[in-house]
């Protein structure tokens, strides 16, 4: 369906990089599909993607703590949104928010023991469906995919730098 669409457009505008455009479109569709699958798994826990990601970042830190600014960077979220995310997670007792000693502009965010238990409980049931996503992929397939995606990521990185350096 998408293939036919791109085909017809590239017949009218032949200088279009049709193959590349198709790959772009595929990546966008897959990104949406994976996001949808993820949100489906998160819904029972009343978490959305960015809250989950933020919580996982904290969980994966050796000391379980970070600052809003750092979390923004790693979760690629605006500071505005991080405030809301932190509000939501604090309300549920999964993280705490306190003032930093050294730099009083900073806020210190820390995952709570309850937050750790929550992650450890919710994660395992997600595994089977993640594995299913890559059913029929050989180890070589996965390695190839990883390599190609990282190459693409590198190119996109350059493009993003060329936007506002």
Partner DNA sequence: ATTTTTTAATTCACTAGTGAAATATGAATC
Partner DNA sequence: GATTCATATTTCACTAGTGAATTAAAAAAT
Question: Using CB under 8 A as the criterion, which residues of the chain lie in contact with a second copy when the complex forms?
Answer: 1, 4-6, 8-9, 12-13, 15-17, 19-24, 26-38, 40, 56-57, 59-62, 74, 76, 120, 123-124, 127, 129-137, 141-142, 144-146, 148-153, 155-160, 163
Q: Is 118 in the site for DNA (CB under 7 A)?
A: no
Q: Contact with DNA (CB under 7 A): which of 38, 77, 94, 119?
A: 77
* 65's tokens: 């703590």
Q: DSSP 3-state helix, strand, coil percentages of the chain (rounded to 5)?
A: 70, 5, 25
CB of 136 to DNA, least distance (A): 28
Is 57 one of the binding residues for DNA (CB under 7 A)?
no
Residue 62 contacts by C-beta under 8 Å, 6 or more apart in sequence? Answer: none
Q: Which does 3 bind (CB under 5 to 8 A by kind): a second copy, DNA, none?
A: none
Task: Collect contacts of 133-141 with beta carbons under 8 A, ≥24 apart.
Answer: 133/34, 133/37
Among 53, 29, 52, 40, residue whose Cα is nearest residue 130? 40
For DNA (CB under 7 A), the number of binding residues is 23
Q: Indicate the burial class of 89 (C-beta count within 10 angstroms; 0-12, 13-18, 19 or more).
A: buried
CA atoms within 13 A on the CB side of 103: 5
- Interacting span for DNA (CB under 7 A) from 101-109, 112-120, 142-150, 154-162: 101-109
Residue number, 54 or 115, with CB nearest to DNA = 54
For DNA, the binding residues (CB under 7 A) are 48-50, 67-70, 77-86, 97, 103-107
């Amino acid at each position: 369906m998408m293939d036919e669409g791109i085909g017809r457009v590239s017949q009218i505008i032949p200088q279009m990089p049709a193959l590349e455009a198709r790959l772009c479109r595929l990546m966008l569709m897959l990104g949406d599909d994976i996001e949808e699958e993820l949100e489906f798994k998160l819904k029972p826990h009343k978490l959305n993607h960015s809250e989950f990601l933020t919580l996982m970042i904290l969980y994966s830190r050796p000391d379980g703590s970070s600052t809003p600014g750092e979390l923004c960077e790693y979760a690629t979220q605006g500071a505005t949104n991080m405030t809301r995310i932190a509000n939501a997670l604090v309300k549920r007792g999964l993280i705490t928010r306190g003032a930093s000693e050294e730099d009083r502009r900073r806020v210190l965010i820390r995952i709570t023991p309850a937050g750790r238990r929550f992650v450890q409980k919710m994660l395992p049931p997600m595994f089977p469906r993640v594995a299913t996503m890559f059913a029929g992929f050989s180890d070589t397939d996965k390695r190839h995919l990883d390599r190609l995606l990282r190459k693409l990521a590198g190119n996109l990185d350059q493009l993003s730098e060329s936007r506002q350096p």
